[in-house]
Structure 1
């Protein structure tokens, strides 16, 4: 009898479980390890919550638990094409380029990725499969044409922003972005009170973004939409049809910024609890009586591509330190000092979690910056391109790091900054305070991401969260038509008053003349 009751209860639980299981399509063709980490962790969180997920990306999933309802659709060849393109570029020289040229180049790269995605046989097969999904999740990164798949599968559109609020994502949901104090992603200035010069520069970046999207990117994306769905909506319509935006940001990392109701901060959701280190790393760190420094330039930048004098100078500085150093380096360094350990790959978050960690030398990528706040480790940021200078400036402004741009790099400056960060406790204190703010949240960020995706599906796209501003054209949003009308009315009044005064003055003068004649 007890066994029958147990089976009945389990059956009921399974029925309840299945009622709340949604079908979710994650379309993430961006061929970049850092972006893939973000997208994978989101999809894994949804699969772990019991949803049936389909992950479309250039990479195959690893170690997927058998109980997950998880399907991989690997876009073969997309990563290879992207890596071949990267080989033609010197990333360490990118920041010397004209900002307009960089924006246009980025748009062209992403257009190529969109084209490779929509023409891929596996994507065509999925499009023709007549499958049904409850939600489509895509990344906000000049991939607007892919939003057309939400129309094809008749599902809700959810956006993932790899950064915080930006000029790319704000207009999609009508989020305010006052240029006077909301710095552009590439402005490089994150002081609380922007100077006149920086506000002017900020305005130029925002205008460049708007003009590039309106007059260059939109036409390219519209052509892709027609290839996906001949009678599909325009990119302008698709861009403002998002039900939810998940932001990889948090006020412990970003400055306080305005957010409309359907924008949710989940910054740090990609970070897993610390795992045991490989034996060699564990022993190296455990036996470091004066602490450990970790040095990594991220996944796209390669330390081996640094100039030889720079590499040799860095090793010379490391050799003077009493701390041990782990350097993520892509090849062997035979002339390294005894206190330096070279590793081609490192479990970065697990290294930062070690109690002997003293300092993180980083390129200033957002994932690395978030991990350092999560674990409470100060940084020396050496940014190269993209949002790295902005992230580095923010770390310095918030007191948990120092920064100097790669193009300003000197061995003397590098050594003096290391000594300052290692010997002055204020940086460690500042980052530990930031870490407290990060962890003091009502729910874990990955749980929040799952909750809000489910919320959007439960409430049929949650239209009650959308603000009217997302559909307003710029002259209505900024009240230009109202101000123009007021200007016309005011000008008309001035003109009428001028005529009346002129007429009155003329009559008065005529009256004075008559009196003089008499």
Structure 2
């Protein structure tokens, strides 16, 4: 229950009025009733007086009156919306009033919902169109590079990186234009101010939510792993590169000297690329609406709580901060019964079990030659296969394989006959696989998927296949390895036990901390001063330079004095000799 007294004064006034009114009615009614005395020898053995009855009724009224906070949600479209929607569902069930800011041409975020009220922004993001174009181009570049020699293949990787930077830069540019239109819309901004939101909940993959929270002077909560400036941990927590792998480097926390060189170079290149992706678009907005004195490098770090979409079952051990709350696996749920036809297909697998494959909500099909190789590998298995695929039907599809337009991923992963999960490595799917203890064959395509699956491989729970060089033999070998080497299932089930063995469910933690921020109007006591420091101050570069200057001055002064004294001595000896 959310404490009304600290968070919503208007609701408190209303609650007091309702309680007093109802209690007066109850009191008038109960005054006309006799007291009920029970025999001490009875199982109850108590006496309920009129006063007791009134007190009990008032307690019931207090328990039944729930007044939630006003929460403004600024989500990122696509697959990120799926886990944000899960949090919204829980907040709605707790009685909170939720408003969702969405582009009018949103891909996944519905305008009409029983969970929230929508605020539509001009539809300029065109997330779906840009994303589908980007994915097809990136997959094509990777496939082109598989038959090339070393140098042309390196150039293809560079070309792919340039594509990533340009596409993300364009996406943030369009988003920033939408933000400016929102800020310049005085009617809309006045409406936001008049609503008196208690907190802004946003995904830092885009900067609109953080900018709006700062503009409205409202506490801010991030639902986050990736941000517009890089991985969230790397931004807010100490990240020693000796044992904290940069995500794009695909390393673990146990690095050799050459790997540490790669890690430092990867981190440097990643930080440098961010200068071209987000900073050129957001920095002018920060200066325009918040003043030139505001430090852009720390602007997006000033959140009260960071709800981190992972945990140390998935993450390698590393330093953290007081306002980071780990909610890895928060979207995992108890399974539901499978549809009848799907249940019959799964049960028909006998003792062999089933393999399920899906590349998430965003990738429903692959290039046809790759699809044919995957289908041929599946056809060799004695297991039944449930494959979410909406492209052209493979010509060599085996009788053991069922193609579906959609599958209940969580329910299938929980099924006792599921043996292997073939996935692209999205964080939602990986967390569900951990929760249900199903080993993985990874087929990473882009973004953080390579790193997610690399972590699962390092923990002995996955075998990964390079999409660019995939053929039926390689894919079949990976499937057979995970199916018949019991260590993969044992390792994943160990992770599952760790995932489930927590004092509080991850979703309950997320809701608790959102309500915590509402109750206390922020969580400033958990925010470290490092969030307000520039890199120069944070790493004590200015202190080091100052001390180095003092040391150098002392050295030069000492040398000067020594030289001067030597010269005097030398001149004195020379004069005496003369």
> Given that residues 172 and 278 in structure 2 are in contact (C-alpha distance below 8 angstroms), is that contact kept between their aligned partners in structure 1?
no
Corresponding position: 1:103 with 2:165? yes
Q: 1:183 to 1:145 in 2, by over 3 A?
A: same
CA contact (8 A) 1:140 1:160 kept: yes
Q: In 2, Cα distance between the equivalents of 1:103 and 1:165?
A: 12
Q: 1:501 offset after TM fit, Å? A: 4.4
Q: Find the partner of 1:186 among 230, 237, 248.
A: 248
**Alignment partner, residue 150 of structure 1:** 213
Label 1:384 to 1:225 Cα distance change in 2 as closer, same or farther (>3 A).
same
How many angstroms apart in 1 are the aligned matches of 2:81 and 2:118? 13
Q: Distance in 2 between matches of 1:149 and 1:164?
A: 16
User: What does residue 115 of structure 1 align with?
Assistant: 177
CA separation of 1:124/1:205 partners in 2, compared to 1, >3 Å: closer, same or farther?
A: farther
After the TM superposition, which of the residue ranges 461-470 and 155-164 deviates more from structure 2?
A: 155-164
Structure 2: unaligned runs, 5 residues or longer: 1-28, 34-52, 143-156
Contact kept? 1:35, 1:162, Cα under 8 Å? no
Change (3 A) 1:302 1:359: same
Give 1:139's match in structure 2, choosing from 200, 203, 213: 203
Q: Which residue of 1 aligns with 2:464?
A: 403
Deviation at 1:318, TM superposition (A): 1.4
SS of equivalent residue, structure 1 residue 358: strand
CA contact (8 A) 2:357 2:388 kept: yes
What residue is the counterpart of 2:22 in the other structure? none
Aligned partner of 1:27 among 52, 67, 74 = 74
3-state SS of 2:99 partner: strand
Q: 1:291/1:164 Cα in 2 relative to 1: closer, same or farther (>3 Å)? A: farther
Asked whether the 8 Å contact 2:374–2:471 carries over to 1, the reply is no
The reply to whether residue 203 of structure 1 matches residue 203 of structure 2 is no
1:323 matched to 2:378: no
Q: Residue 292 of structure 1 corresponds to which residue in structure 2?
A: 354
Q: Which of 78, 83, 87 in structure 2 is aligned with 1:38? A: 83
- Matches of 2:293 and 2:405, distance apart in 1: 46
Say whether residues 1:433 and 2:494 are aligned partners.
Answer: yes
Task: State how far apart, in whole Å, the 2-side matches of 1:94 and 1:264 are.
Answer: 38
Give the C-alpha shift of residue 439 in structure 1.
Answer: 0.8
Alignment of 1:249-288 (within 5 A): 249-288=310-349
* Structure 1 residues 166 and 286: alpha-carbon distance in aligned structure 2, compared to 1, 3 A threshold: farther
The question of whether the paired residues in 2 share the 8 Å contact of 1:163 and 1:366 is answered with no
Q: Find the residue that maps to 1:271 and give its secondary structure.
A: coil
Instruction: Report matched runs for 1:78-93 at 5 Å.
Output: 81-89=126-134, 90=136, 91-93=138-140
d(CA) in 2 for partners of 1:124 and 1:428?
A: 57
Instruction: Say if 2:434 and 2:495, in contact at 8 Å, map to a contact too.
Output: yes
Larger radius of gyration between Structure 1 and Structure 2: 2
d(CA) in 1 for partners of 2:478, 2:101: 43
Q: Secondary structure at the match of 2:247?
A: coil
Q: Which residue of 2 aligns with 1:128?
A: 190
Equivalent residue, structure 2, for 1:301? 363
CA deviation digits over 1:167-195, x for unaligned, max 9? 443476x4212222222232222x22223
Question: Which shifted more, 102-111 or 209-218?
Answer: 209-218
Q: How far is 1:22 from its partner? A: 0.6
Could you tell me whether the CA contact under 8 Å between 1:294 and 1:359 is conserved in 2? yes
In structure 1, C-alpha distance between the alignment counterparts of 2:546 and 2:568, rounded to whole Å: 33
Q: Quote the Cα distance in structure 1 between the aligned partners of 2:456 and 2:344.
A: 30
Contact 2:224 2:306 in 1 (8 A): yes
Match of 1:13 among 47, 55, 63: 63
- 1:336-368 per-residue CA deviation (whole Å, 9 max, x = no partner) reads 211000011111111111000111111111111
Distance 1:233 1:192, change over 3 A: closer
Contact 2:375 2:394 in 1 (8 A): no
1:88 aligned counterpart, secondary structure: helix
Aligned to 2:308: 247
> CA RMSD for the aligned pairs?
3.3
Cα distance change on mapping 1:212 and 1:319 into 2, 3 Å: closer
Question: Structure 1, residues 75-109: CA drift from partner, whole Å, max 9, x if none?
Answer: 58567x22222343324246633535523431321
The alpha-carbon deviation at position 498 of structure 1 amounts to: 3.1
- Does the C-alpha gap of structure 1 residues 99 and 199 become closer, same or farther in structure 2, counting only changes over 3 Å? farther
Q: 1:249 to 1:123 in 2, by over 3 A?
A: farther
| Greater length-normalized contact order (CA 8 Å, ≥ 6 residues apart) | 1
Runs (5+) with no aligned partner, structure 1: none
CA distance in 1, matches of 2:162, 2:389: 32
- Counterpart of 1:71 in structure 2 is 117
CA distance in structure 1 between the partners assigned to 2:299 and 2:536 by the alignment: 20
Alpha-carbon distance change, 165 to 235 in structure 1, aligned in 2, over 3 angstroms = closer
2:528 to 467, 479, 491: 467
Length, aligned pairs only:
503
Instruction: Return the offset for 1:23.
Output: 0.5
Q: TM-score, normalised by structure 1?
A: 0.87
Q: Measured at CA, do residues 437 and 337 of structure 1 come closer, stay the same or move farther in structure 2, by a change above 3 Å?
A: same
Tell me if structure 2 keeps the 8 A contact 1:328–1:342: yes
Residue pair 2:388, 2:405 contacting (<8 A) in 1 also = yes
Measured at CA, do residues 349 and 157 of structure 1 come closer, stay the same or move farther in structure 2, by a change above 3 Å?
same
